[in-house]
Amino acid sequence: MLIWIFTVLDIFVLVTIFLTHYGWFVSPLMIFLSFFYLLFKGILFFGELMSMIDLLIAVYLILMVFGLKTFIFYIIVFWFLYKLFFAFMD
């Protein structure tokens, strides 16, 4: 059950990052909820490689608010699609 909750929240973060990158309407609340979710999950499972990547994505999400848009976006999208693929395969 916990895996499905994390999967739904990862989809929420993916949508938020996608909307933020392309400059479409994004509520600041969506961005901060995504940031705090990734931060919480990264700290909760600290020491795991996937959690460290989640922490880096949380930092990148905040930098996107200030206008940073780089090719890292595509790596992040791939990362979330990778996680979602294996979550649905389980």
The secondary structure of 15-62 as a DSSP string is HHHHHHHTT----HHHHHHHHHHHHHHHHHTTTSHHHHHHHHHHHHHH
Query: What distances in angstroms separate CA 43 from CA 17, 26, 66, one per listed residue?
Result: 20, 25, 24
**Interval 31-57: pLDDT, tens:** 999 999 999 999 999 889 989 999 999
| Token pair recorded at residue 51 | 């959690």
Taking all residues of the chain, what is their mean pLDDT, rounded to a whole number?
A: 90
Q: How many domains, in total, are found in the chain?
A: 1
Nearest to 16 by CA among 81, 72, 64: 64
Boundaries of domain holding 39:
2-89
pLDDT band at 1 (very low <50, low <70, confident <90, very high): confident
Q: Record the pTM.
A: 0.88
CA distance linking residue 45 with residue 67, whole number of Å: 29
Task: Identify the pLDDT of residue 90.
Answer: 67
